[in-house]
Amino acid sequence: MCFRQFGLLRFVIIVASIELVYAQSHADVKRLYTDLFTDYRKEIIPTADQSKPLVVGVTFHIASFNSFNEVDETMSLTAVVDMNWTDPALMWDPTLYGNTNFTTINPKDLWLPQIYLTNTVDPMNPVGHDSKVYPTIGYTGKVFYSHGGILKAKCPTDISKFPFDSQTCTLELMTWGFVQSQLLLSSNFDKAQLGFFDAHSDWNLLEYSTHVVSVSFGYSMFNSKTHL
């Protein structure tokens, strides 16, 4: 009898702990997707008060330094650009969706900020336009979007220090289409992040600062200054 009661208690404890670790099912996430996106308009910048700017945090990672061409005056590097913001239309109560705290979604389904490298030597496309990385959304409306690509910028060559070449190049990334009263960039760090960085045999990165400036025409511009 005593052993049986203990057995029952153990059974109850096991069931209770299964409930505690109960995770989201496919059906929960599908219902969440339906509820969030049925009435969602990805064409509209996601601010509850449209007279206030959406603040987008930017983290710039230098993945590799590819080349510096003194004749063409161009620098090429591979960058990963992380962006984060809050979309008030993408908030939910996790307990109603099997404790789904966050999920990854197709980039074509939500509003995404676009930035352009203004001193590019390639056709003018938004940075990462050909990457299809899935953004992550959290139940508090926080969106995390990581994209990137090869950025090739025009940079005046400094030949004054020849042959001890030392070059500075600033990548200028602008929120074209949205003025800063609508979209404001904010630099998450004052330096480019080098967690993914592969060193280059000919060039040393001496400086790699990042900051946001406000430019003419009222755009917000993210600058990544590289000193080689």
Ligand X SMILES: *[C@@H]1O[C@H](CO)[C@@H](O)[C@H](O)[C@H]1NC(C)=O
Q: Which residues bind ligand X (CB under 6 A)?
A: 55-57, 84-86, 94, 99, 101, 186, 188
Nearest residue to ligand X, by Cβ distance, number only? 57
Shortest spacing between CB 109 and ligand X, in angstroms = 20
Shortest spacing between CB 51 and ligand X, in angstroms = 18
Shortest spacing between CB 55 and ligand X, in angstroms = 4
Q: How far apart are CA 14 and CA 12, in angstroms?
A: 5
Nearer to ligand X, 84 or 220 (CB): 84
Nearer to ligand X, 163 or 195 (CB): 195
Shortest spacing between CB 184 and ligand X, in angstroms = 9
Shortest spacing between CB 170 and ligand X, in angstroms = 23
At CB < 8 A and 24+ separation, what contacts does 176-180 make?
Answer: 176/114, 176/115, 176/116, 176/118, 176/219, 177/114, 178/45, 178/113, 178/219, 179/217, 179/218, 179/219, 180/53, 180/214, 180/218, 180/219, 180/220
Nearer to ligand X, 86 or 103 (CB): 86
Contact in structure between 102 and 137 (CB atoms under 8 Å): yes
Nearer to ligand X, 100 or 226 (CB): 100
Contact in structure between 151 and 120 (CB atoms under 8 Å): yes
Q: How far apart are CA 93 and CA 223, in angstroms?
A: 37
Nearer to ligand X, 9 or 96 (CB): 96
Burial 100-125 (b: 16+ CB within 10 A, else e): beebebebeebbbbbbbbbbbbeeee
